[in-house]
Structure 1
Amino acid sequence: MKVLVQITSASTGGIGRLTRDICDTLPVSEYKAFIAYGRGDLVRKKYDYKFDHKLDIYVHAILSRIADGTGLGSYVGTRRLVKWLRHIKPDIIHLHNLHGYYINIPVLFKYLAKTNIPVVWTFHDCWNFTGHCTHFSLIQCHKWKDMCYHCPQLGKYPISYFDYSTRNYFLKKKYYCSLRNLTIVTPSKWLQGLVEASFLRKYPSIVINNGIDLKLFRVKSNYSRIKVGNRKIILGLASTWSDRKGLGDFLKLSQSLSDEYVIVLVGLTKSLIKKLPGNVVGITHTENAEQLVDLYNNAFVFINPTYEDNFPTTNIEAMACGTSVITYNTGGSPESLTLETGYVLEQGDVKGILQVIRCHVKNELTIKACRERAMQFDKFTVFSKYKELYGRIINT
C-alpha cells in the first residue's frame, strides 16, 4: 500500500476538486491517498488534513501586503504539516499551488530536501518561477528568465505595497532547486515551455491536461431555455471579470452585433450588470451545475477572449455540451480546440470575432465534433495519467 499526500491551499475551488478527482482515480487497494490543505472544510474526513488556522492565514496575508511575503508566513501551520507528514510517512508528495497565504516555503522544502521523498508538482500558473506575479503575459514581462526586480505588478495578486521580488526570486530558486527528486506537471504545452525556460529547467516536466466530468457536461435534448426572444446567445463565463478576461472586448463586440444576437455573461457583479448595454445580459452566478450545463447548451457559440490563461476548462465544458469556442491565442487556451470545434484569433481582434460569429453555423455536425473532442478530456482518463506517473517515480 503506497501513501500519497497532495498539498494544496484549500479544499474548495477548482484545484480542490482536482485533488479529489485524482484521489478517485487511484485504486484503494494500491493507494492510501491523503489531501493536506490550509483552509476550507473537511470533505473526506478520514483522509483530509487541515493544518493551518484562520489567524495564521490572516497574518500571512498581512505579511504579503507589507513585505511581499507570500510563502514566508504560516510558520506554525507548516511545522504542524511537517510533523504530520513524518507521522504518516508518504511514499510520494504531490504539490499544487503554494500561494494562497497557507504555506511556509523554507520549512516545507527543507523537509522535502532532507527526506528526499519523490515530489510531483502540478503548476496551475506562473507564480512558482517569478518573484511576485502569477501571470506576466499581458504586460510582456520577461524578467523571470534571469532575475525579477522592480516588479510592475505589485498591485496584482498577491498584492504588496513594497517590492521584494528579487529576494523572492532567489529564495524560490534556492529552495526549489534543492530537491533531487522532482517531476513537474503542467496542464498545457504553453506552460511547460515557460518552465523549461525558467530556473526549474533542470527538472523533468510532462503535460497532463485538466479534465472535466463528461457525465455532467453533456449535450441535452431537453434543457431550460433562456428567454431572450429568438436571438442567438453568445456566451461568456469567468469567475472574476476584468479586461484581463476580456470584458472590454465583449462590450466592444456588443456595439457591432445585430439584433440577431445577444451576449450572456456569467460571473458579473451586480454593479457591473447595472452598467451593461441593452444587448448584454449579466448573470452573477449559476444556482447549480445543471444551470451552467443548460447555458452551454443554449449558446450559439462560447467566447473566451482571455488575455492570460493556462488551460481553461470552460472551453472543454462548452465543447462537451456541443458548443463551439472562439478564443484568443493566449497561453494554453487554444490547445483544447481543433479546426472543427473552434476558432483561434489574435488578442484584441474583436472584428475577427464578429466575422466568425456571422459565418459560424451550429448544427448536428458541429455539435458531434465538439462532443467527440471533449471526450478526450474525460477527467477519469486524464487523471489516471497521474497514477502512471506515481508508479514510474516510486519504482525508479
Structure 2
Amino acid sequence: MRILQINNVYDRLSTGKIVADLHREYTARGIESYVSYARGPKVGQPHVQKFNWEFYAHVNKVRAYLTGILYGGNIISTLRLFSQIRRINPDIVHLHCINDDSVNIYWLLKYLKKKGIRTVVTEHAEFLHTGTCGSAYECNRWLDGCGKCPQSKSMKFLFDNTHLAWKKMMDAFDGFDRGKLCVTTVSPWLKTRATQNSHFSVYQITPVLNGIDTVNFYRRVNSIVDRQTIELTGRPVVMFVTSSFPAPVKGTHFIEDLAKRMPEVDFLVLGQKGEVEDLPQNIHLLGRVYDRDKMALYYSLSDATILVSKAETFSMPVAESLCCGTPVVGFKAGGPESICLDEYCKFVDYGDVDSLQQALNYTLSQSFDRDKMSKEAIRKYSKKAMADGYIAVYNRLMEAK
C-alpha cells in the first residue's frame, strides 16, 4: 500500500509532528509512505518533498486578503503538487491541514475526485465543513451557506466572500465517489460538528484521535527536583501551554485572573514571551520549549494542567499532560472534554472563572494515582494507536467496491 500525506508543514507544529510520526510509523511497518508539504525548510529526507515556496505563500496571503477567498489561488504550487501526485501514483492520498496559503483546496479536491484517487480527509480544524473559518465558535451560519460573517474583520478580509467560499468548498466535495472518500476527525466532538453539514454527512466520518510521542511524554517520577531550577518551593504548581503570552484568543487573561485569585499557587507558562506589564509574581514565563523531554519534565513536576481556550478541536496539552500523569482542569472547549480521561479531568462552562477556580482547587486537593493515569493515557494517545486507526480507514477504502 502506497500512502501520500499532504500537509502545510512537516515535523514541526502540531500537525507537522503528527504527519512525521505517521510517516515514520508507516515506514517501520513496511508501508510505502510519502509526504508532500508546503511551508518551512527542506528536510532532505527520502520520500518527503516540499511543493511550495515561502515567497509565493506570502503572495497568496495578499490575494486571500483582497478576495476574501482563503483557499483559492495558489496556481503554481497546486500544479506542482499535482505533478508530485502523478509521479508517486499513490493508492491513497491523505489530506491533513492544507489551509496555509499554499494550495488551491477546491482544485485539489476536484482533481482527486476526477482521477478517482482514494482520499482520506482529516479535519484538524473546522474550515472544511464551514468553508472558511477554523473555529466557528457559537456561530451557525455555516449550516446554511455563511455570508455576513461575524469573524470577517478578525480574519482580515477586505471583502466578506464567505458565502462564495462556502459554495466553492461544498461544490468541491459534492459528487465524490462515496467508496473513494473517507472523512476523519481528531475528536468525537468534531465529528458531531461535521455531520451537521449535509454535504459531509453523506460520507463516512470516523474519529481518529491524535497521537503523541509517548517515548518522550511519560511521567518523570524524579521531576520534583527540577522545581529548584525554576525557583519553585513546595507550593502547588499549575502548568499552562500556549503559543504566546499574552494571547487573548488562548485566554491568557484568565491565567492572570486566576494567579491574582490564587497567590498560593505557582503558574508555569510555556509559550513565546510577549510584552506584559504588572504580571502577578506567581506567574513564571518560561518561554517557548521545543524539547519534548523538557516539556515532559514540566508536565510531570506540575500538580495540574489548565486549559482556558474558547474552542479546541483536540488539544495536545491535554493528551501530553495526562501521559505525564498530570490531571487537567479547564473550560469546556469542545474537543478536549470529548477525548480526555474523565476520571482525571474537570471542565466548566467557558468564562466561568469562579467555577474554574473551584475545579482547580478541588483537583489540587486530590491524591491521584499518577502512574496509573500515565499508563492509561499512553495506551489511548500513543502514535501506534493513531496509526492503527488510520490504517483501518485505509484498509476500508482499499476494500470498498
Is contact 1:56-1:73 (8 Å) kept? no
SS in 2 for 1:162: coil
Kindly state the Cα deviation for residue 60 of structure 1 after the two structures are TM-superposed.
0.8
Kindly state the Cα deviation for residue 255 of structure 1 after the two structures are TM-superposed.
2.2
More helix by share: 2
Q: Does 1:234 align with 2:238?
A: yes
- Structure 1 stretch displaced more, 109-118 or 301-310: 109-118
| Matched AA of 1:271 | E
Q: Does 1:347 align with 2:344?
A: no
| Matched AA of 1:161 | L
Alignment TM-score, normalising by the size of structure 1: 0.93
Is contact 1:25-1:384 (8 Å) kept? no
Q: 1:391 aligns with which of 366, 391, 395?
A: 395
| Matched AA of 1:283 | L
Q: Does 1:306 align with 2:309?
A: yes
- Write the distance in 1 (CA, Å) between the matches of 2:336 and 2:66: 34
Q: 1:380 aligns with which of 361, 369, 384?
A: 384
**Alpha carbon RMSD of aligned pairs, Å?**
1.9
- Write the distance in 1 (CA, Å) between the matches of 2:63 and 2:371: 51
Report what 2:151 is aligned to: 153
- Write the distance in 2 (CA, Å) between the matches of 1:79 and 1:56: 13
- Write the distance in 2 (CA, Å) between the matches of 1:339 and 1:146: 34
Q: 2:176 aligns with which of 172, 175, 179?
A: 179
Is contact 1:325-1:341 (8 Å) kept? yes
**Cα deviation digits, residues 100-158 of structure 1 (max 9, x gap):** 00001233223212111110010011111224211121xx110000111011112334x
Q: Does 1:39 align with 2:1?
A: no
- Write the distance in 1 (CA, Å) between the matches of 2:192 and 2:269: 32
Kindly state the Cα deviation for residue 27 of structure 1 after the two structures are TM-superposed.
5.2
- Write the distance in 1 (CA, Å) between the matches of 2:184 and 2:29: 25
| Matched AA of 2:175 | S
Report what 2:117 is aligned to: 117
Kindly state the Cα deviation for residue 36 of structure 1 after the two structures are TM-superposed.
0.6
* 1:263-282 matched pairs, under 5 angstroms: 263-272=267-276, 274-282=277-285
Q: Does 1:319 align with 2:322?
A: yes
Report what 1:255 is aligned to: 260
Q: Which runs of 4+ in 1 moved over 6 A?
A: none
The change in CA–CA distance for 1:278 and 1:386 in structure 2 (over 3 A counts) is same
| Matched AA of 2:148 | H
- Structure 1 stretch displaced more, 15-24 or 240-249: 240-249
Is contact 1:5-1:33 (8 Å) kept? yes
**Cα deviation digits, residues 217-252 of structure 1 (max 9, x gap):** 111122322312332111111114533322121122
**Cα deviation digits, residues 293-342 of structure 1 (max 9, x gap):** 12111211111122110011111111111111002221111123334211
Alignment TM-score, normalising by the size of structure 2: 0.92
Report what 1:163 is aligned to: 160
| Matched AA of 1:266 | L
- Write the distance in 2 (CA, Å) between the matches of 1:133 and 1:174: 17
The change in CA–CA distance for 1:287 and 1:80 in structure 2 (over 3 A counts) is closer
Q: Size of the alignment, in residue pairs?
A: 390
% identity of equivalent residues: 23
| Matched AA of 1:227 | E
The change in CA–CA distance for 1:83 and 1:339 in structure 2 (over 3 A counts) is closer
Give 5+ residue unaligned stretches, structure 1: none
- Write the distance in 2 (CA, Å) between the matches of 1:98 and 1:51: 12
Report what 1:16 is aligned to: 16
Q: Does 1:143 align with 2:141?
A: yes
Report what 2:292 is aligned to: 289
- Write the distance in 1 (CA, Å) between the matches of 2:48 and 2:260: 50
SS in 2 for 1:351: helix
Q: Does 1:243 align with 2:248?
A: yes
